[in-house]
């Protein structure tokens, strides 16, 4: 996402209070020595570098990994320091800063990257959202979604078999999770957690998932 949107629409991915992987560099008091950020930049590829008139928003790349950095008052003459909010996400904030400044061996845990299984599920959910919101479809069809995304090489059988199949239930759960991700789950994702809709039985999932999706 282009960081220029931070000034215009404030997307969540650029809000450091919501997205703890955003590294905030704040002005350093005159009595202290700030970080030599220019030295760090010399070994990082700059993907984006834009200013909104107050802060500088950057995306840096190093070893195929991206770092999002927000520099408060970039023209401050005394340099900058990493500002870490002491909230429930501070381990992730610390991990992001350590990774940027090259001390990755000190990471407390790999909280900045989903597992392979989580990446696969997230990819499916994004594909499901694209399918459900495609403008050319008058009414999304759950079975078509299953055949397109989850089971492209499977025969899902006759209508009655599909109606009572585990594949249909799995597809409904995927749709339910995708909509949850779109509406509120993305906030947890930005904090390194993948949440699921809570408090629903299978029947409840069926009703929620098929609310706008036909069989």
Digit-coded pLDDT (tens) for 77-117: 888 888 888 888 888 888 888 888 876 544 444 555 677 88
* pLDDT per position as a tens digit, 24-35: 999 988 878 878
The domain total for the chain is 2
Claim to verify: residue 120 and residue 102 sit in the same structural domain:
no
Q: What is the average per-residue pLDDT within 113-130?
A: 86
Claim to verify: residue 122 and residue 91 sit in the same structural domain:
no
pTM score: 0.62
Q: Print the domain residue range for 144.
A: 116-209
Claim to verify: residue 28 and residue 82 sit in the same structural domain:
yes
**Residue 215 located in a structural domain:** no
Claim to verify: residue 98 and residue 120 sit in the same structural domain:
no
Claim to verify: residue 83 and residue 40 sit in the same structural domain:
yes
**Residue 214 located in a structural domain:** no
**Buried-state track 26-39, b at ≥16 Cβ within 10 A, e below 16:** bbbeeeeebeebee
Interatomic CA distance for residues 27 and 78, integer angstroms: 7
Residue in the block written with tokens 């381990």: 91
């Amino acid at each position: 996402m282009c960081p220029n949107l931070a000034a215009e629409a404030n997307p969540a991915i650029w809000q450091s209070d919501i997205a703890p992987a955003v590294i905030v560099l704040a002005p350093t008091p005159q009595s202290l020595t700030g970080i030599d950020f220019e030295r760090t930049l010399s070994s990082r590829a700059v993907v984006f570098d834009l200013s909104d008139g107050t802060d500088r928003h950057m995306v840096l790349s190093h070893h195929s990994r991206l770092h999002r950095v927000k520099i408060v008052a970039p023209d401050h003459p005394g340099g900058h320091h990493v500002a870490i909010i002491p909230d429930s996400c501070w381990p992730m904030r610390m991990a992001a800063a350590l990774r940027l400044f090259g001390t990755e061996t000190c990471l407390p845990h790999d909280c900045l990257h989903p597992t392979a299984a989580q990446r696969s599920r997230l990819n499916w959910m994004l594909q499901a959202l694209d399918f459900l919101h495609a403008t050319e479809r008058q009414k999304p069809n759950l079975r078509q979604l299953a055949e397109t995304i989850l089971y492209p090489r499977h025969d899902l059988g006759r209508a009655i078999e599909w109606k009572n199949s585990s594949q249909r239930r799995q597809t409904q759960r995927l749709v339910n999770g995708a909509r949850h991700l779109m509406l509120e789950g993305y906030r947890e994702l930005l904090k390194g957690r993948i949440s699921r809709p809570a408090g629903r039985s299978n029947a409840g999932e069926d009703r929620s998932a098929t609310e706008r999706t036909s069989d």
